[in-house]
């Protein structure tokens, strides 16, 4: 399996992630063309810099001719500009009137919500899968902001989602990851930094409230550096793209790339490291340890059972299914079975206890053998569809169009689901024939 490992020993931000993608081989032309297709008055400047003597790629976003700034410089420029324009208005009110952004141009940006963001992304000529990934990142940002402000996500209008640099960072991240062509992204613990950060509603400890909400369930730490090292945009990228967290995985590294942040830190290089390579087990059939959770349930509304299955899958279960069983006193019931990674078992067990009527959960670890899998994208007359492909001994043994892609297209275009699946399969077979 080809994987990418994010080493966030100095945190992560949107520009750092883009720099790492460029260093890993994602064409700069692809990102520049993506920015142009967004039609938001932005451009990229990509350069090679040094951070504590380490060479890294720096990506800067220019919005209407203005360069993006670190948060502290942004706020100082904002205060100076606002005080000059409104000399009789209190500083606290001036700060409240400007949006929160880790990196944004000083020029005032219109406040945008999810509706406007979705329209910008959907209008861009990029792949459907990239659009879906980018929108998922913005929705994660909006959900975090909505939760900390006790609001609805569609009512959130703020510069962190709406600023041009955030739009560019996130959409380019989605397009760049697709071009990177890895099967899975993994991540280290995240160094969040320390100290305080100036936000639209005042001064808050690092990590900022929305950032901390986005990092829920992710392993974090602080090295004591007095700086905001994980930005809201960086946290949204991690939350959406990363499949698992842990120490450096067994792998054969092929590409090592470094994306630079704006600051020069005294203590360590302000970079994020991206390592791409094959996992150590190069065989077609891999072995991994999974956790199996089981619970017998005989007194639960069937509608709730279906809801619980959806929640489990949303929260990271590898699989979840129910089997009809005959329980004691001849009562019909359901056996709930959940397959998950060992590190997710406790969290998913809590979900089962909270959402169902069960009083006990059986838990065991098992080894499972899995075929090597990868994704390719094909273009149908209605849109792009991913094809899942399984290999054994160098031969394709199984292939199937991704159901969720086909279902979404069938619903949006009002065409039969079977027609979308059939055409996607035909397009894949044609592509396979031409490649051979």
pTM score of the predicted model: 0.61
Please answer whether residues 427 and 415 qualify as being in contact, where contact means their C-beta atoms are separated by less than 8 angstroms: no
Q: Residue 86: pLDDT above 60?
A: no
Average confidence score pLDDT of the chain = 84
Report in angstroms the alpha-carbon separations of 304 from 240, 297, 301, 323, 324.
27, 12, 5, 15, 16
The verdict on 197 and 311 lying in the same domain is no
**Residue 374 falls within a domain, yes or no?**
no
Looking at 345, 369, 393, the residue that finishes a domain is 369
pLDDT band at 91 (very low <50, low <70, confident <90, very high): very low
Q: Residue 66: pLDDT above 90?
A: no
Q: Residue 177: pLDDT above 60?
A: yes
What is the model's pLDDT at position 164?
Answer: 84
Looking at 313, 342, 369, the residue that finishes a domain is 369
**Residue 68 falls within a domain, yes or no?**
yes
Task: Please give the average per-residue pLDDT across 210-231, as a whole number.
Answer: 90
The CA-based dihedral angle spanning residues 57, 58, 63, 64, taken in that order and rounded to the nearest 10 degrees: -90
Domain count for the chain, please give it.
3
Per DSSP, the residues of 166-233 read HHHHHHHHHHHHHHHT-SEEEE--EE-B-SEEEETTEEEESSPHHHHHHTTTS-EE--S-SSB-B-HH
Tell me which DSSP letter residue 316 carries: T
Query: Residue 366 forms beta bridges with which residues?
Result: 290
65-79, 84-98, 164-178, 336-350: segment of lowest average pLDDT? 84-98
What is the model's pLDDT at position 125?
Answer: 93
Percent of the chain with pLDDT over 90: 55
**Residue 375 falls within a domain, yes or no?**
no
The verdict on 167 and 261 lying in the same domain is yes
Percent of the chain with pLDDT over 70: 83
**Residue 415 falls within a domain, yes or no?**
yes
336-380 confidence digits (pLDDT tens): 999 999 989 999 999 999 999 999 999 999 988 877 778 888 999
The verdict on 154 and 301 lying in the same domain is no
**What CATH number is associated with residue 316?**
3.30.70.1380
The verdict on 205 and 347 lying in the same domain is no
User: By C-alpha distance, which of 56, 8, 388 is closest to 186?
Assistant: 8
Report in angstroms the alpha-carbon separations of 379 from 183, 231, 321, 407.
20, 35, 32, 15
The verdict on 19 and 63 lying in the same domain is yes
The verdict on 275 and 290 lying in the same domain is no
pLDDT band at 429 (very low <50, low <70, confident <90, very high): very high
pLDDT band at 307 (very low <50, low <70, confident <90, very high): very high
242-275 confidence digits (pLDDT tens): 988 988 988 899 999 999 998 889 899 999 999 9
Task: Please give the average per-residue pLDDT across 198-216, as a whole number.
Answer: 80
Q: Residue 93: pLDDT above 60?
A: no
The verdict on 227 and 348 lying in the same domain is no
Per DSSP, the residues of 106-118 read SS------HHHHH
Report in angstroms the alpha-carbon separations of 305 from 23, 291, 329, 336.
46, 21, 21, 9
Cis before 207 (ω within 30): yes
What is the model's pLDDT at position 69?
Answer: 54
The verdict on 149 and 191 lying in the same domain is yes
**Residue 355 falls within a domain, yes or no?**
yes
Q: Residue 308: pLDDT above 90?
A: yes
The verdict on 198 and 219 lying in the same domain is yes
Residue partners of 340: CB distance under 8 A and separation at least 6 = 290, 291, 293, 316, 317, 318, 348
Please answer whether residues 109 and 42 qualify as being in contact, where contact means their C-beta atoms are separated by less than 8 angstroms: no
Tokens of 182: 């890895």
Looking at 279, 309, 328, the residue that finishes a domain is 279
What is the model's pLDDT at position 149?
Answer: 66
The verdict on 333 and 399 lying in the same domain is no
Please answer whether residues 160 and 100 qualify as being in contact, where contact means their C-beta atoms are separated by less than 8 angstroms: yes
pLDDT band at 310 (very low <50, low <70, confident <90, very high): very high
The verdict on 165 and 275 lying in the same domain is yes
d(CA 218, CA 357): 28
What is the model's pLDDT at position 396?
Answer: 81
The verdict on 261 and 203 lying in the same domain is yes
Q: Is 25 helix (H, G, I), strand (E, B) or coil?
A: coil
127-162 confidence digits (pLDDT tens): 999 999 999 999 998 888 878 767 666 655 544 444
What is the model's pLDDT at position 116?
Answer: 87
| Full domain range(s) for residue 404 | 380-435
């Amino acid at each position: 399996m080809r994987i990418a490992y994010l080493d966030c020993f100095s945190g992560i931000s949107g520009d750092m992630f883009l720099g790492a993608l460029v260093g890993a081989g994602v064409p700069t032309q692809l990102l520049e063309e993506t920015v142009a297709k967004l039609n938001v008055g932005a451009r990229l400047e990509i350069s090679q810099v040094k951070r504590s003597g380490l060479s890294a790629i720096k990506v800067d976003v220019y919005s209407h001719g203005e360069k993006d700034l670190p948060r502290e410089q942004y706020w100082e420029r904002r205060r100076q500009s606002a005080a000059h324009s409104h000399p009789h208005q209190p500083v606290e009110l001036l700060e409240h009137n400007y949006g929160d952004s880790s990196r944004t141009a000083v020029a005032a940006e219109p406040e945008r919500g999810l509706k406007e963001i979705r329209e910008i992304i959907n209008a861009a000529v990029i792949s459907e899968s990239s659009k879906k990934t980018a929108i998922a990142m913005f929705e994660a940002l909006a959900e975090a902001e909505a939760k900390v402000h006790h609001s609805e996500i569609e009512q959130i209008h703020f510069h962190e989602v709406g600023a041009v640099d955030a739009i560019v960072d996130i959409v380019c991240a989605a397009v760049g990851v697709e071009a990177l062509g890895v099967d899975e992204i993994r991540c280290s613990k995240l160094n969040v930094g320390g100290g305080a950060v100036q936000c639209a509603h005042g001064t808050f400890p690092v990590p900022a409230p929305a950032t901390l909400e986005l990092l829920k369930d992710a392993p974090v730490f602080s090295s004591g550096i007095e700086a905001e090292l994980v930005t809201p945009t960086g946290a949204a990228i991690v939350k959406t793209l990363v499949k698992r967290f842990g120490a450096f995985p067994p792998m054969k590294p092929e590409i090592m790339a470094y994306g630079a942040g704006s600051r020069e830190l005294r203590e360590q290089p302000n970079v994020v490291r991206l390592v791409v390579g094959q996992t150590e087990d190069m065989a077609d059939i891999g072995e991994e340890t999974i956790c199996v959770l089981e619970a017998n349930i005989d007194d639960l509304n069937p509608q709730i059972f279906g809801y619980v299955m959806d929640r489990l899958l949303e929260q990271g279960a590898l699989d979840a299914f129910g089997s009809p069983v005959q329980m004691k006193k001849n009562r019909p019931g359901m056996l709930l079975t959940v397959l998950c990674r060992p590190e997710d078992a406790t969290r998913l067990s809590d979900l089962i206890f909270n959402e169902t009527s069960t009083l006990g959960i059986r838990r065991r670890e098992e080894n499972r053998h899995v075929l090597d899998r990868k994704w390719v994208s094909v273009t149908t007359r209605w849109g792009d569809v991913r094809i899942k492909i399984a290999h054994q001994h160098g031969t394709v043994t199984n292939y199937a169009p991704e159901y969720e892609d086909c279902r979404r297209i069938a619903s949006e275009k009002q065409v039969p689901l079977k027609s979308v699946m059939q055409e996607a399969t035909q397009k894949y077979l044609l592509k396979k024939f031409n490649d051979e």
